[in-house]
Structure 1
């Protein structure tokens, strides 16, 4: 059995900081997920888009974010120049971003069992919270239904 056979699903997040300020406020929460073995960070890339539109990768050691040292070994080699260009397409000038690639360790046992059963993932995705809330708002009835004898207990 190879390591790939044992892995959980792998996802990525690209998080923009429009002000360009990477404060590290969410870092303790990310460390907690790693410590509790909910996720495993496979790769982490920091980038900044200058006002002239050029995009540069930032060295995590230069950011001086408390707790970032825990991820100095998180470089799977998956992220490269194409990813940096793609981040540049997403960012506003003056913005900064974090690209995080992680394994969902919590789902690894389910993924292993499904693979052993011959199952294949044929779809998936993520629903942005804004879209979910808009859909829920749109599905709420505009008025309360008239009370029926059943509802009033008669």
Structure 2
């Protein structure tokens, strides 16, 4: 990974993904992640894999040891580390995982927004809040609206 140019940095988000304990991850989403990177939509800052044991203990897992299957180079993101994730972050991320499950922690820059964010910062503006609307909440609202329009 190249050194970050913080002056041109876009908004940074994270995801914690849980993989079911009873299935080996097939890695089918990794090519989609690669596509987002190649199209400059996002820039992966960190991708770390963890395992939460049945006793609640947490351990890091190297991407090549994670057991991903599929026709792609699993080591493509092996070097994706910015140093932003520390042990406390891993423990916090793992706290949302069910015992016996594995997970991935992905920190990424919304690279598409970097020029916009940089211009705003140069004009003295700052991002003071962000948020996400869960997909399930949007779908429920659309279903309710549809029912109201039909009713």
Compute the TM-score of the two structures, normalised by the length of structure 1.
0.84
In the TM superposition, residue 124 of structure 1 has moved relative to its aligned partner by 1.2
Given candidates 90, 98, 102, the residue that maps to 1:96 is 102
Which has the larger Rg?
A: 1
RMSD: 1.9
- Conserved? CA contact 1:27–1:67, under 8 Å: no
Report the counterpart of residue 17 of structure 1 in structure 2. 19
**Across the two proteins, how many residue pairs are aligned to each other?**
144
Given candidates 119, 136, 139, the residue that maps to 1:130 is 136
Query: After superposition, what is the alpha-carbon deviation per residue over 1:31-89, rounded to whole angstroms, capped at 9, x for unaligned?
Result: 11111111111001101111222111101121254322221221111111112211221
Compute the TM-score of the two structures, normalised by the length of structure 2.
0.85
Given candidates 78, 96, 110, the residue that maps to 2:84 is 78
Structure 2 alignment gaps of length 5 or more: none
Residues in 2 aligned to 1:58 and 1:72: alpha-carbon distance in whole angstroms:
11
